[in-house]
Amino acid sequence: MSHRELMSVTNKIVNKIVNKIVNKIVSKIVNKIVDKLVNKIVDKIVEDYMKANKPQKNI
């Protein structure tokens, strides 16, 4: 194997590793953002539902 081939193989391996790391980081960030958004949406829906369907005990 020539030096050039070795470098090419090394670059491919490094690129794959870097891509995997970047993908994992991005997916974790995206998951956190999505989780926060979903939680906010769910909280809002629950809040609106509770307001709309308040038990009329205060009368």
Reported as a single tens digit per residue, the pLDDT across 12-57 is 999 999 999 999 999 999 999 999 999 999 999 999 999 998 876 6
**Residue-wise over 1-17: b if at least 16 C-beta within 10 A, else e?**
eeeeeeeeeeeeeeeee
- What tokens were used for 38? 């979903």
Task: Give the type of residue at 55.
Answer: P
Where exactly are the structural domains of the chain?
A: 27-51
What pLDDT band is residue 59 in, cutting at 50, 70 and 90? low
Listed in order, strand segments (DSSP E) in 1-59 are none
Helix (H) or strand (E) segment spanning residue 11: helix 3-52
pTM: 0.59
Q: Identify the pLDDT of residue 55.
A: 72
Distance CA 21, CA 29 (A): 12
Q: Identify the pLDDT of residue 31.
A: 98
